[in-house]
Structure 1
Amino acid sequence: MAHNINFNSETGRYSFFSVKEKAWHGLGQIVEQYPTSEEAIKHAGLDYEVAKKPALIKGAGLLIGNNGEIIEGQDIIIPNRFGTYRTDTNQPFDVVGKDYHIVQNREAFNFFDAIVGSGEGILYETAGALGQGERIFITAKLPGYIRVGNGDDVTEKYIFLTTSHDGSGSITAAFTPIRIVCQNTLNASLRSMSNVVRIKHTSGAKQRLEDAHKVMGLANTLSSQLEGIFNNWAKVKVTDREVRKLIQLALCPNKETFDLLKKGAEDEVSTLYRNTVDDAFAYAMTSDTQQMDTTKGTLFGAYNAVTGYYQNVRSYKDNEAKLQSIVMGGTAQMKGQKAFELCTAFATDGAEILNLN
């Protein structure tokens, strides 16, 4: 698989670090101890500044002499437009508006430091830069676990943060629970809240602290409620037929396919969709992690069949595409949320929501 980790030719290092685990595609730095934010920035090659200059069209203007002759070309400044760039390599990123506020990499870490300072005890686990350094990401492990069943099925709690320097998006922080036994990202948010907080591009300490507490409050509330929900689902029995139907509905790409499923015309759906459902169902039936007391023949197992398919079975063109799909609002995250909603309805209404009765 390809990768898109930034390589800094000035330092000869890839901009990525991971604690104890093998770094992305064998690139980047592996460290044995959880670092401070200052150490993490250096390990990940994120110790660079971003600046902006007025955007211009090179040599597009013309100076005309007294006799009408062209004397020389002249740069034309584009009003209210600026180019962002790395100051260490002069690598340009993109053109942004006059109100765009650059959030330096260290300021992104300051967001987490606001949590650390409150005694929450988070641990920096990975960080890195993609492309030419225009996008960065940080994952931090939260204390405690979500435990399902007798405690053998454990989910770790993370906050994932990403931001860009090219105007392509705001700072985004998401609560991301990951099931340890299969590294399954459990994409779930309750009806009354999202698992994502979008943070204003500001370097103000007061705002950082407010945003940090907002994310931590979200994480604490979600993790507590999810533990109750998952433990309930682990006690709800489902048949293989119901598992397959849940998978079909969760992965359904459009209304046309849904209408075909509703009238029982499964042989008329697209081959791609049918193969996707088959692969997810095979994962549900055969994966070792689906044979646990918490997952075998349970609603929790059906939910994990969808999230586990995207994490452990589906092929992606590269790890950045996988990251985008699973964590950053892509297909896997949307389908995982759909599976969560279906399972929530099933736990209340039973097989009626599957049109099986």
Structure 2
Amino acid sequence: MMYVGEIPWHRLGTKLDQPATAREAITAAGLDYRVQLKPLKTDDGNDVPSRKAAVRSDTNQVLGVVGNGYVPVQNYQAFGFLDAVVADGGLHYHTAGALGRGEKVWMLAKLPGQIQVKNSADIVDKFLLLSNAHDGSAALRVYFTPIRVVCQNTLSLAERRSQGQGVSILHKGDLEAKIKEAQEVLGFATRFYDDAEEQINRLASHYPTQAQLSAYFKELYPDPEEGKDNTRAQNVRQELHRLFEEGLGHDEPSIKHSTWVAFNAVTEFVDHLRPGRGTNDVERASRRLDSIWFGTGARLKQKAWNLALDMTLAV
């Protein structure tokens, strides 16, 4: 992994001066390997004609098993289509890394401008998150990923109809097509962040009752089936109430006790306090990143966002 600027909260990666190209970022992040397709054989030596192994060139690790029609998108190809936008100052490569054995790679790119919540000191930066999977599990996609500066919470604000799945990129080889793809992505991003700013300010201008707040947290962390121990759910909800009062940046007068703060109590818990699994700190950080961007953490934050918007419309 590589990063630009301050050390990320997960403390992973190599610090780099502002990279000008995707290839520079990829090299610093240790992602300058290729993915090759190799034939598969059974234990007794028989060919498997319909499948191939996607193999990482530098370690010979098998990243996944794919069909014969699968064509790898190499790491420099996956992110390089944005180079033209970076060159004209419309975007900055910020962070890049890999998850697992390298089967999933990602890069954060920072867009110019910020969202200032209710004209306060609460600032949200605008990012694109690019992700590609070498195991055939997902296409090359771009997600719109706002990050709240004060606490580095990654916010999941996708529209309901997209289900948080981002924008697929159809990779074409010529430079003109790549520039067009990048411009289309920036167009999507502009519309997304214009809508996001309006919705964030709506949350920040709504103040839930205690009953609404309790119901909101219980919808996200409900009690288990009758007869089962509900201690964990109660403890999480208690922690969410604490974060609502004491979370990072929640004492800002213009947003205090708002639905925006309730939503950020959830994002702070998911990103920074939710227990992670792994045998060491690096593995736990990697799995947490995978969860908050692509897994159960992202889905929980998406649900929290939609429920928060619903709460502002409740009579």
- In structure 1, the residue matched to 2:97 is 128
SS, match of residue 51 in structure 1: strand
Q: 1:191 to 1:120 in 2, by over 3 A?
A: farther
Tell me the TM-score normalised to structure 1 length.
Answer: 0.77
Asked if residue 348 in structure 1 is aligned to residue 313 in structure 2, the reply is yes
Q: 1:131 to 1:82 in 2, by over 3 A?
A: same
Alignment partner for residue 35 of structure 2, among 42, 50, 60? 50
Tell me the TM-score normalised to structure 2 length.
Answer: 0.86
Asked if residue 285 in structure 1 is aligned to residue 245 in structure 2, the reply is yes
Asked if residue 336 in structure 1 is aligned to residue 301 in structure 2, the reply is yes
SS, match of residue 66 in structure 2: strand
SS, match of residue 155 in structure 1: strand
Contact 1:80 1:97 in 2 (8 A): yes
Q: 1:306 to 1:90 in 2, by over 3 A?
A: closer
Alignment partner for residue 197 of structure 1, among 142, 153, 166? 166
Deviation at 1:104, TM superposition (A): 0.4
| Alpha-carbon distance in structure 2 between the residues aligned to 1:239 and 1:335 | 22
Matches within 5 A, 1:138-149: 138-149=107-118
What residue ranges of structure 2 are gaps of 5+ in the alignment? 278-283
Deviation at 1:192, TM superposition (A): 5.1
Contact 1:175 1:195 in 2 (8 A): no
- In structure 1, the residue matched to 2:150 is 181
SS, match of residue 173 in structure 1: strand
What residue ranges of structure 1 are gaps of 5+ in the alignment? 1-15, 61-74, 258-266, 351-357
Q: Which has the larger radius of gyration?
A: 1
- In structure 1, the residue matched to 2:256 is 296
Contact 2:291 2:298 in 1 (8 A): yes
| Alpha-carbon distance in structure 2 between the residues aligned to 1:156 and 1:302 | 19
> Which is worse superposed, 223-232 or 237-246?
237-246
For 1:323, give the aligned amino acid.
L
SS, match of residue 182 in structure 1: coil
Deviation at 1:138, TM superposition (A): 0.8
For residues 118-142 of structure 1, what are the alpha-carbon distances to aligned partners after superposition, in whole Å with 9 as ceiling and x for unaligned?
Answer: x462111111223333221111111
Deviation at 1:23, TM superposition (A): 6.3
Deviation at 1:157, TM superposition (A): 0.8
Deviation at 1:211, TM superposition (A): 4.3
| Alpha-carbon distance in structure 2 between the residues aligned to 1:216 and 1:88 | 33
Alignment partner for residue 22 of structure 2, among 32, 37, 40? 37
Matches within 5 A, 1:104-253: 104-113=74-83, 115-116=85-86, 119=88, 121-191=90-160, 193=162, 195-199=164-168, 202-205=171-174, 208-209=178-179, 211-252=181-222
CA RMSD of aligned residues (A): 2.7
Contact 1:239 1:297 in 2 (8 A): no
Q: 1:326 to 1:253 in 2, by over 3 A?
A: farther
Number of residue-to-residue matches in the alignment: 308
| Alpha-carbon distance in structure 2 between the residues aligned to 1:143 and 1:39 | 21
| Alpha-carbon distance in structure 2 between the residues aligned to 1:207 and 1:129 | 26
What is the identity percentage for the equivalent residue pairs of Structure 1 and Structure 2?
A: 34
Alignment partner for residue 316 of structure 1, among 254, 276, 288? 276
